[in-house]
C-alpha cells in the first residue's frame, strides 16, 4: 500500500468533517498570494501547503528535487519527474503531517508552510498542451442518439468498438471561478434553411472529469494498454460548456467546433491516481468484445460520486444531477491506448476529458440537454424559477468525491458563472 493512502492516518492539522482534503488526499495545484509569485502547493483541510517552502526547509532534501520545480506557475515539470518522485513527495508530506510524527519537528514550521485556502488564489495548475474530449458514457451517447437520430439505432455502429473522441481547444480551458461569457454564433431556426447570428439560446454544462498526462511519448509511439496508467498523473473535475444550438448547426460532418471551444472549466486541484487507488471498481461488461489492443485486465474504473448544482443569481443552489464516474463504458487506459494506437504522440500537460458522465436515471443525467430532454421538460429551481438550459447569472458548480473506510477524497469544485453575451462582437 502507498503510505499516504493508509486510512488510519490522522494529521496534526485539523481537518474538518466532510473536508475534501484529508491527509490521504494531498493533491497538487498552484497558488499565489497577493505578495507572491505562483508556486506549487498541496492541500490539507482548509489550508494550502506551500511546497516551495517545504522544499526550501529541506523536508524533501533526500529527494534532490531542483528548487525551480516548485517555484513554478504550473505543475508540468513536477509531474514530469515521474511517479517514483511524485509519490515520494506525497508520502513525505503524509509523514510530516502525521499526528504521530516526531522526527521532522514539522509543527514548528507550520506558520511558514500553510496559508488559509480562502485567502489565496488558486490558479490553473497545468500548462495544457493539447485537449481531447471523449464521448465514453454509454448512457449519454444513447440519450443524444435517441434525441438527434434514431431511437432504434441510438449508438453509431462504431461506438462499442472504439472510444469516440475529438480534438478540443486547450486555450479556452480555465480554472474554477472564471466567469463565462455567453457565446455567440450561427444557429438555424426551426424549419428554416437560412442561419441567423446571435447569442446562444441553448447554453449547457457537461458533467465530465479530466485526466492529465505526466509522461510524454515520441511521435510514432503507442502506449500499450498495460502501461497506460504509468502516463496518467491524476484527475480533475471538468465542465465542458456547450452551446447546443451552435453545435447542432455546425457539427456535420467534422464534429464539434465553436459550440464547444468557447470555454471549459477545470477544478484547481489535480488528485493523483495514487490517491484514487483505493477507489478502483470494475467497469461495465463490454459486449461485443473489444479488439485485442483495447483488452484490459483488472479494475480500471473509479467510484467517484459527482454532483452538479445550478445557483441562479442571488439565490440558493439546486442540485440538478447526481452521477458517478464508475458508469464510464470506456476507461482511461482504453482511451489513452486508442488515442496513441496510430502513433500520435502525447505530452506532459495534455488534458483528456471523459465526455458527459450520465447514469441510467434522469436524476443522473450529466447535461441540461438530457435533463430537459432537448428542452421539452423544465427543471424546478429552489427559488421558484425553471430551467431548460442555463440563464445569464447562473453559476454552475460541479463537485466530486470518493468515500471508503471513513476516508473522503474530494476534488474541490469546478465553478463558473454565466455572464450575458457581449452586445458588440468586438474586443473592447
Give the nearest distance from C-beta 256 to Ca ion in angstroms: 8
Residue of minimal Cβ distance to Ca ion: 240
**Are the CB atoms for 22 and 408 separated by under 8 Å?**
yes
**Residue with smaller CB distance to Ca ion, 255 or 317:** 255
Q: How far is CA 283 from the centre of its chain?
A: 19
Report the distance separating Cα 345 and Cα 220, nearest Å.
7
**Residue with smaller CB distance to Ca ion, 49 or 357:** 357
Tell me which residues are annotated as active site.
Answer: 140
240 makes contact with Ca ion (CB under 5 A): yes
> Which CA distances in Å does 38 have to 21, 50, 95, 283, 316?
21, 10, 25, 38, 33
**Residue with smaller CB distance to Ca ion, 169 or 408:** 169
Give the nearest distance from C-beta 57 to Ca ion in angstroms: 42
Give the nearest distance from C-beta 281 to Ca ion in angstroms: 23
Phi-psi group of 116: left, alpha or beta (phi > 0 → left; psi -120 to 50 → alpha; rest → beta): beta
206 makes contact with Ca ion (CB under 5 A): yes
CB neighbourhood size of 133 (10 A)? 26
Grid cell 506525497 is found at 90
Give the residues across from 404 on adjacent strands: 407
**Are the CB atoms for 267 and 411 separated by under 8 Å?**
yes
**Closest by Cα among 98, 363, 148, 414 to 256:** 148
- Binding range to Ca ion, per CB under 5 A, among 25-33, 61-69, 132-140, 318-326: 132-140
370 makes contact with Ca ion (CB under 5 A): no
**Are the CB atoms for 269 and 27 separated by under 8 Å?**
yes
Q: What share of the chain is helix, strand, coil (3-state, %, to 5)?
A: 25, 30, 50
Phi-psi group of 294: left, alpha or beta (phi > 0 → left; psi -120 to 50 → alpha; rest → beta): alpha
Residue 409: CB partners within 8 Å, gap ≥ 6? Answer: 20, 22, 24, 25, 271, 275, 276, 279, 401, 402, 403
- Binding range to Ca ion, per CB under 5 A, among 56-64, 228-236, 238-246, 406-414: 238-246
**Residue with smaller CB distance to Ca ion, 98 or 206:** 206
Give the nearest distance from C-beta 212 to Ca ion in angstroms: 16
Report the distance separating Cα 22 and Cα 45, nearest Å.
6
DSSP 10-25: -BSS---TT-S--TTT
- Binding range to Ca ion, per CB under 5 A, among 94-102, 123-131, 206-214, 391-399: 206-214
Report the distance separating Cα 253 and Cα 192, nearest Å.
19
Burial of residue 297 (CB within 10 Å: 0-12, 13-18, 19+) is exposed
Give the nearest distance from C-beta 266 to Ca ion in angstroms: 13
Give the nearest distance from C-beta 199 to Ca ion in angstroms: 21
397-416 positions binding Ca ion, by CB under 5 A: none
Give the nearest distance from C-beta 38 to Ca ion in angstroms: 28
Total residues contacting Ca ion by CB under 5 A comes to 3
The 8-class DSSP code of residue 155 comes to S
- Binding range to Ca ion, per CB under 5 A, among 58-66, 104-112, 201-209, 275-283: 201-209
Give the nearest distance from C-beta 356 to Ca ion in angstroms: 6
Answer for which of 98, 133, 250, 274 binds Ca ion (CB under 5 A) is 133
- Binding range to Ca ion, per CB under 5 A, among 45-53, 182-190, 239-247, 319-327: 239-247
**Are the CB atoms for 135 and 329 separated by under 8 Å?**
no
Residues lying near Ca ion in the complex (CB under 5 A) are found at 133, 206, 240
Amino acid at each position: 500500500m502507498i503510505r499516504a493512502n493508509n486510512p488510519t492516518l490522522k494529521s496534526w492539522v485539523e481537518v474538518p468533517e466532510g473536508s475534501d482534503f484529508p491527509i490521504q488526499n494531498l493533491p497538487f495545484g498552484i497558488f499565489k498570494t497577493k505578495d507572491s509569485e505562483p508556486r506549487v502547493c498541496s492541500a490539507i483541510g482548509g489550508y494550502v501547503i506551500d511546497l516551495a517552502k517545504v522544499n526550501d526547509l529541506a523536508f524533501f532534501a533526500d529527494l534532490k528535487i531542483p528548487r525551480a520545480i516548485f517555484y513554478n506557475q504550473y505543475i508540468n515539470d513536477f509531474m514530469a519527474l515521474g511517479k517514483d518522485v511524485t509519490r515520494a513527495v506525497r508520502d513525505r508530506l503524509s509523514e510530516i503531517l502525521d499526528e504521530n510524527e516526531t522526527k521532522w519537528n514539522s509543527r514548528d514550521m507550520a506558520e511558514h508552510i500553510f496559508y488559509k485556502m480562502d485567502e489565496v488564489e488558486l490558479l490553473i495548475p497545468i500548462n495544457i498542451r493539447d485537449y481531447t474530449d471523449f464521448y465514453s458514457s454509454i448512457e449519454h451517447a444513447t440519450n443524444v442518439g435517441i434525441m438527434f437520430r434514431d431511437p432504434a439505432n441510438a449508438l453509431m455502429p462504431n461506438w462499442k468498438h472504439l472510444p469516440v473522441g475529438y480534438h478540443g481547444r486547450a486555450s479556452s480551458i480555465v480554472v474554477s471561478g472564471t466567469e463565462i461569457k455567453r457565446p455567440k454564433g450561427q444557429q438555424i431556426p426551426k424549419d428554416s434553411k437560412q442561419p441567423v447570428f446571435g447569442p446562444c439560446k441553448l447554453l449547457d454544462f457537461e458533467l465530465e472529469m479530466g485526466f492529465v498526462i505526466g509522461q510524454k511519448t515520441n511521435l510514432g509511439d503507442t502506449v500499450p494498454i498495460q502501461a497506460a496508467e504509468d502516463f496518467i498523473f491524476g484527475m480533475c473535475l471538468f465542465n465542458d460548456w456547450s452551446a447546443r444550438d451552435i453545435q447542432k448547426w455546425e457539427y456535420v460532418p467534422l464534429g464539434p467546433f465553436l459550440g464547444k471551444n468557447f470555454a471549459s472549466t477545470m477544478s484547481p486541484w489535480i488528485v493523483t491516481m495514487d490517491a484514487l487507488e483505493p477507489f478502483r471498481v470494475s467497469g461495465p461488461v463490454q459486449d461485443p468484445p473489444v479488439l485485442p489492443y483495447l483488452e484490459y485486465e483488472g479494475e480500471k474504473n473509479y467510484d467517484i460520486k459527482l454532483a452538479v448544482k445550478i445557483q441562479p443569481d442571488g439565490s440558493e443552489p439546486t442540485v440538478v444531477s447526481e452521477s458517478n464516474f464508475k458508469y464510464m463504458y470506456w476507461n482511461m487506459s482504453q482511451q489513452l491506448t486508442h488515442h496513441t494506437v496510430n502513433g500520435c504522440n502525447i505530452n506532459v500537460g495534455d488534458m483528456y476529458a471523459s465526455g458527459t458522465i450520465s447514469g441510467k436515471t434522469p436524476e443522473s443525467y450529466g447535461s441540461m440537454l438530457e435533463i430537459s430532454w432537448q428542452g421539452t421538460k423544465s427543471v424546478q429551481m429552489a427559488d421558484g424559477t425553471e430551467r431548460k438550459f442555463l440563464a445569464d447569472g447562473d453559476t454552475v458548480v460541479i463537485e466530486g468525491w470518493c468515500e471508503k473506510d471513513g476516508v473522503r477524497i474530494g476534488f474541490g469544485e469546478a465553478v463558473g458563472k454565466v455572464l450575458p453575451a457581449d452586445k458588440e462582437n468586438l474586443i473592447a
